Structure 1
Amino acid sequence: MRLTGGNNDLRRIDVFNSGPMGNGWYYSVGGFFRQTDGVRDPQFSADKGGQFSATLSKRWDSGEVSFYARHTDDNNAFYTAIPLLSRNNGNDLSSFPGLNAQTGTLLGRDFRNVDLLVRPNGQTLRRDLADGRGVNIDVFGGELNWEAGHWTIADRVNVMSGSAPTYALFTGDAPQRLSDFIASYGTTGSGSFTKGGGAVDPNQQVLEAGWWSVDKRLNSFTNDLRLSRELFAGNTLTVGASYATYSSADTWHLGNTMSLTAQNNARRIDVALDNGQQATRQGFTSSAFLNLRAQYDGENIAAFIADEWELNARLRLDLGARYERQSVTGDVHDTATVDLDGNAATLYDNATSAALVSTRRIDQDDEAFSWTAGLNFKLNDSNSLFARVNSGVKFPGFDNLRDGQDRVQEVDQYELGLKSGASAYDLYLTAFYNTFKNSPFQAFLANGSNFTAVGDSRARGLEVEAAIRPFGGFELAGTGVWLDAKYRNYREFTGNQVMRQPKRQFRITPSYYWMLPFGDLKLFATYSYIGDRFADLANSQRLPSYDMLDIGANLHVGEHWEMTASGSNVTDTLGLTEGNMRVPGAATGGVFMGRPIAGRQYQMSVAYRW
């Protein structure tokens, strides 16, 4: 059992128990429950939920069969891009006034519970932002491993059913003064707070953000069967087949734009126009720009063969090939733009997307052949060389086909490396070259348009993973990647750096381990550096480099007790994981929309094992 606590009112309990039941039967049960205000406090429980799982297995001399079940009910806040101050060509960032970049969020109780306009005559849909990005999923399955003569049989089956909603805030353009926002309607007016009333200062910085509602009902069944046999000494052949059927029922309401104060835990603003028009309803300036209703079904069937051959004591070869066929059908409801109440003076619902009864059909079959080949050459007991070539595919998904992106993605990967290790060190050095064809991109822009593109890219680089242990319990470990990734045949974006991929990144982790009279103690820290990147295809939104420091300690007392303390980003660095693809272009007026990493976080856990 483990109890965990931390800042932001983090509370978590993990419980797990396993053991024999007699006569070859074994069991395990366990799970967790967690609740926290989140790394950015939205004034309600940002993360709340848990999981329960159980397994039952039976062992014989010839093999084992096991069954498992897992229920997950978990909800997590979705943190959107926030305004930041940008200087020096995007290289220097700081907090926007009233919204701390390390701890702040626009999310707040003011618009936690809303009624979204979805149908004529005032019909609404009630949604709770605390449900965030959630899952309510049940998974059941089983696994068989059996020795039958010279053959080894392995079969795995999995059944999944549940829902995965996303209720989240999506920001658009950079903030502006309330007076300028009102002027965009071509008239004058005033603003007041939706909750609590009170006039809003015309100089108040405001922005528009959408309250998006996405509901997905998911089901799947998968089965993987493989048979292995040693053909002769040092050579093992594996043949198999896999089958999967899956479905998704989607109901989306994207848009639902609100006028918000640009501050931590933002508040909605209702605008009163002097020309008699009604611009807002409960702070909403628009309803959905996309009402998607769709039902998709997919089926994948594959056959594969693999062979691993130890040619001699120093040389090992493995080969594999896979043929797969995917069939997807679906019905996507047509949409129309309507004025929900038929009143042109109520501006907030004049351009509402409404799903119609009529549908358009998706019906596509794809097939592809994939293969891999790998070679490992042992130089001596401490060193070996390896090489691998892969050629694979990724079939278009439901959303790709909905948007007409029906090409099969092709991926070719090449790598060459060195593995070296001894008691005092470990070293993995890998050079790689990858090509990607028909890679799709899709984003719903702030103006409601659906931007799509398809193109190619290539990536080459070097990856290093190493550790040295020069004395006692001290270890210095590190990882690093140099990457040169560029778009090819990608419209006007050809030659640009692949978005969100830094050319350089590395992590260094020193640690020290002590044996103590009553147990053991390990202290560790990790320094991370992430290089410059771009947030968009056009390479117009620069994400500057940043570094951060994490620290921790782990203590074992006797055979039963364990205590762990850790801190992440203890230097409280302001670093960005992404910008805002929904708004093309660079910073506007020195303001940049981006998603920062979380600020300084601490947590501690105590575990007891029996």
Structure 2
Amino acid sequence: MRVLYILLSGAALVGLSDAAAASTAAPSQTSKSADAREQAQPAGAPTKAFSTGVAKGRDLLDTAISASTLDETDLPKLGTPAVAGILANLPGVRAETQGVDGFSALTVRGLPLSADGSRYVQIQEDGLPVLEFGDIHLAGADTFVRADIGLSQVQSIRGGSASTFASNSPGGVINLISKTGETEGGALLLSSGLGYDLHRLDFDYGAPLGGDWRFHVGGFFHEGEGPREVGYRGTRGGQVKVNVTRTFSGGYIRFYGKYLDDRQALYTQFPLRIAGTNESPQFSDLPGLDARRDALNSKYIADLAGVDDRNNPTQFDLHEGIHGVSKAVGLEAQFEIGDWTITDKFRFAANSGAYNENTTLLTLPAATMAATFGGPGAVLSYAGGPNNGKIVTDPAGLNGNGLLATSIYVHGDLNNLDNLTNDLRASRTFTLGEGKLTTTAGVYYASQNVDMYWSLASALEGYAAHGQGTRFDLTAANGTRVTDAGILGYGIIAGAPLATYHRRYDVNYRVLAPYASANYQIGKLSVGGSIRIDTGKVSGNTYSPPAGTGTAPIDLNRDGSLSLPETRVAILATSQPGLVDYDYNYLSYSAGVNYRIAEPLSVFARYSRGGRAGAERLLFTPQQDPATGKLADGVAAYGAVKQAEAGLKMRQNGISLFLTGFWASTGESGFQIGADATGAPKVVSFSRSYSAKGIELEGEVRRGPFSLAVGATYAKSKIDKDSTNPAIEGNRPRHQPSLFFSARPQFEQGIVTVGATINGTTSSFAQDTNILKQPGYVVVSPFLFVRPMPRIELGINAFNVFDKLAFVNISAAAIPASGVVSAQTLNGRTVTAMLRFSF
């Protein structure tokens, strides 16, 4: 869904002591001040710790926030190492992912999924954002972060104080926290696919060094074809993270570094037959294909000719997939000055990489496709693979399904997404009457670069299984070659002019945000509030195609002649940059009250308002003027999210229950990809307001060797108003199920742990027009771990063990006349064996 949108559409603050419970410092700090802190119990996991790192941590039953934790013992049981796949197991969090890092959509509590990435949720690593904006085109935050056995916890906060304890995070914050080596020990974890080609080694080790020093190092490396058959080594790379900590009286100082260099094959939408009705569609695989295991990727489609951002001929490696490189260094410190606790976190991350996607715009019978682009009598021939150059004599039998597609190749150079962040804060607790007043003040600064280049091409491709797909050449009846090695155009040729979306931009976003909070606790009652003021400065340049056609003749293959596609290659007006130069500011606030009715029971309520800057999604749209650099009149640089929540928390005798009712509203303006009644994609311009209300449940039951952890969210989401299309007002936003849930039953006795992770959603609508239903699903992923001897553990995990056809999204708005739609689906059954050696 990401690319269709692209192609066609053009620190952390602790709000009060309870907001402090949302702070993201690692739970492993062992300074004297940290040792003295109370460690809160997170929702649904009475034995897990949820730490604050600033002010005074409190039991969640004393706080007016919704927070949850997954710890290192949970992570191997989830069936996926992908960050978005892991986050889908957090209550309130909805993730659209195919198990590929860097290609996902994430939201919380019914807030809209109008585009890809994590627009309303900030993903952090060790308390600072991975990227300042989670929905940058072609570069989601999960491009530059990975999960491995060096991970200690994943902590999440939904709503509430998320609006004020971090910038650009009104919906929530999810923080991946690293181990820091309090106790000596480590592990090696070998994992390998059974029935698919992917092998991985995880490692970690940490220990005290003496003299109040300790360290931890961890990481992973993996390689192989991957869970889908692409015909080449689609996955290769890994990361190493290291940190060194020194504790002292009243605090600690920590230095850390990370090197990530990882590439994964990107699986996009894949064709399926569709029948039945829009209300009850029936899906099946095309002959010879399996949407759970096949992909558009192919060993025969590896290279792409094009031009670089200076209009010079070059070659792109499509097998590079999503490639993320992150080189980060950081410093974290906490110390006491008098009665004040000072905390500072700093990180600089040099981020870069590449993005390569193959997606489909149009699917037709091969003969129809040939006539559409080549005219009557046009001839098809293979443009690669073992049949290279041979004429297709039976178009109706091509690849067993007789179909051709116009594919769009999207290549993005992620030149520079460097991120510099610093969060400095001070906290103090005062005795006031019979209660305690906890105050926090701080300032947050961030600088985010977004320097990217897009190059696109259109091609004719067939649908073939096992990574065997090829391009096809097309020759008109008069002998004119319509394609060039299967390429129809060096730009988009279907649905938009050739040069559309060929672009480069080099923009810097600076954020300065002072913040303050206060919380007063007296007896069973806690009342507090927090405030944050975000000021943004945006500057840089954009580069678009020149006026007119936006194309030029270029001999890309340098054979001395120009093919038809080479006569119209999309280029940039490199000497005529557009300007980006505007400022913005907005206010965020949050206020809450918590009442501890009894030791095992409390209630809370909170109201919050937060903001989220539009960032680079405002570029190349009528909302931003490249001549002046300013935003158009009436255009806001940010969107506001208002939220109210009230809940009950209970924890007693091995049972925990956290129940929260919520309401949220927000507004958005922009473009998204839709589809007409025939299934053909089209641009949808919108200016909307949304609302959502519902209930979030998290609980856990422990009885002897048995345990059950559950999380469920019921959300009634609605498009309240759309000034561009009033006909959809009152509709449910696309891809928003009424209910999504997870459950993890488990039995652990002696040397054996057995259980299953269950994830599911009810049905939703494929598009905002609310015509075509997108089926819900329940995916079951059992796990078994056996410890036959000390320090040795054998494990097996079967993701989607029943091989469910589970839809992530469907491109069509209604059943098309062709009876074929493109859809993203979860991977089919993938069984992974593991061997862990601890030392």
Q: Same fold (TM over 0.5)?
A: yes
> What's 1:429 paired with?
659
Whether 1:259 and 2:476 are equivalent positions in the alignment is no
- 1:537 alignment partner, SS class: coil
Q: Is the CA contact (8 Å cut-off) linking 2:309 and 2:453 kept in structure 1?
A: no
How far off its partner does 1:184 sit?
1.1
> What's 1:317 paired with?
527
- How many pairs align? 599
Please give the alpha-carbon distance, in whole angstroms, between the structure 1 residues aligned to 2:282 and 2:705: 40
Please give the alpha-carbon distance, in whole angstroms, between the structure 2 residues aligned to 1:412 and 1:526: 33
CA-to-partner distance for each residue in 1:220-268, whole Å, 9 max, x for gaps? 21110000001225221000001111212111113x1110112223211
Tell me: CA distance 1:214–1:540, structure 2 relative to 1, closer, same or farther (3 Å).
farther
> What's 2:344 paired with?
155
Aligned counterpart in structure 1 of residue 330 of structure 2, from 141, 152, 168: 141
How far off its partner does 1:439 sit?
5.0
Whether 1:102 and 2:319 are equivalent positions in the alignment is no
Please give the alpha-carbon distance, in whole angstroms, between the structure 2 residues aligned to 1:282 and 1:21: 60
AA at the equivalent of 1:554: F
- 1:37 alignment partner, SS class: strand
Please give the alpha-carbon distance, in whole angstroms, between the structure 1 residues aligned to 2:308 and 2:488: 14
Whether 1:248 and 2:479 are equivalent positions in the alignment is no
Q: Is the CA contact (8 Å cut-off) linking 1:190 and 1:202 kept in structure 2?
A: no
> What's 2:619 paired with?
401
Tell me: CA distance 1:545–1:258, structure 2 relative to 1, closer, same or farther (3 Å).
same
Tell me: CA distance 1:472–1:101, structure 2 relative to 1, closer, same or farther (3 Å).
same
Q: Greater shift after overlay, 28-37 or 521-530?
A: 521-530
Aligned counterpart in structure 2 of residue 5 of structure 1, from 192, 212, 221: 192
Tell me: CA distance 1:62–1:529, structure 2 relative to 1, closer, same or farther (3 Å).
closer
- 2:577 alignment partner, SS class: strand
Aligned counterparts, 1:577-592, within 5 A: 577-580=808-811, 586-592=815-821
Q: Is the CA contact (8 Å cut-off) linking 1:227 and 1:239 kept in structure 2?
A: yes
How far off its partner does 1:192 sit?
0.8
> What's 2:391 paired with?
199
How far off its partner does 1:448 sit?
9.8
> What's 2:70 paired with?
none
How far off its partner does 1:454 sit?
2.9
Tell me: CA distance 1:119–1:59, structure 2 relative to 1, closer, same or farther (3 Å).
closer
How far off its partner does 1:187 sit?
2.9
Whether 1:214 and 2:214 are equivalent positions in the alignment is no
Please give the alpha-carbon distance, in whole angstroms, between the structure 1 residues aligned to 2:681 and 2:403: 23
How far off its partner does 1:44 sit?
1.1
Aligned counterpart in structure 2 of residue 364 of structure 1, from 582, 594, 599: 582
How far off its partner does 1:80 sit?
1.0
Please give the alpha-carbon distance, in whole angstroms, between the structure 2 residues aligned to 1:116 and 1:588: 35
Tell me: CA distance 1:448–1:485, structure 2 relative to 1, closer, same or farther (3 Å).
closer
Whether 1:489 and 2:489 are equivalent positions in the alignment is no
Q: Aligned-residue CA RMSD in angstroms?
A: 2.4
- 1:179 alignment partner, SS class: helix
Q: Is the CA contact (8 Å cut-off) linking 1:541 and 1:579 kept in structure 2?
A: no
> What's 1:595 paired with?
824
Unaligned runs of 5+ in 1: none
> What's 1:454 paired with?
687
Please give the alpha-carbon distance, in whole angstroms, between the structure 2 residues aligned to 1:365 and 1:29: 41
Please give the alpha-carbon distance, in whole angstroms, between the structure 1 residues aligned to 2:655 and 2:550: 67
Q: Kindly name which structure, 1 or 2, has the bigger radius of gyration based on alpha carbons.
A: 1
Q: Is the CA contact (8 Å cut-off) linking 1:97 and 1:263 kept in structure 2?
A: no
AA at the equivalent of 1:225: L
Please give the alpha-carbon distance, in whole angstroms, between the structure 1 residues aligned to 2:358 and 2:329: 33
User: % of aligned pairs identical?
Assistant: 24
How far off its partner does 1:527 sit?
3.2
> What's 1:438 paired with?
668
> What's 1:228 paired with?
427
Whether 1:298 and 2:509 are equivalent positions in the alignment is yes
> What's 2:648 paired with?
418
AA at the equivalent of 1:543: Q
Q: Is the CA contact (8 Å cut-off) linking 1:146 and 1:154 kept in structure 2?
A: yes
Please give the alpha-carbon distance, in whole angstroms, between the structure 1 residues aligned to 2:668 and 2:552: 39
The structure carrying a bigger strand percent of its residues is: 1
AA at the equivalent of 1:202: P
Q: Greater shift after overlay, 479-488 or 152-161?
A: 479-488
Please give the alpha-carbon distance, in whole angstroms, between the structure 2 residues aligned to 1:412 and 1:119: 41
* TM-score of the two chains, using structure 1 as the length reference: 0.93
Whether 1:340 and 2:558 are equivalent positions in the alignment is no
> What's 2:734 paired with?
499
- 2:406 alignment partner, SS class: strand
Please give the alpha-carbon distance, in whole angstroms, between the structure 2 residues aligned to 1:448 and 1:507: 33
AA at the equivalent of 1:325: T
Q: Is the CA contact (8 Å cut-off) linking 1:436 and 1:458 kept in structure 2?
A: yes
How far off its partner does 1:89 sit?
1.9
AA at the equivalent of 1:601: T
Between 1 and 2, higher relative CO (CA 8 Å, sep ≥ 6) is seen in 2
Q: Is the CA contact (8 Å cut-off) linking 1:94 and 1:574 kept in structure 2?
A: no
Tell me: CA distance 1:215–1:444, structure 2 relative to 1, closer, same or farther (3 Å).
farther
AA at the equivalent of 1:138: K
> What's 1:124 paired with?
313
* TM-score of the two chains, using structure 2 as the length reference: 0.68
Whether 1:467 and 2:669 are equivalent positions in the alignment is no
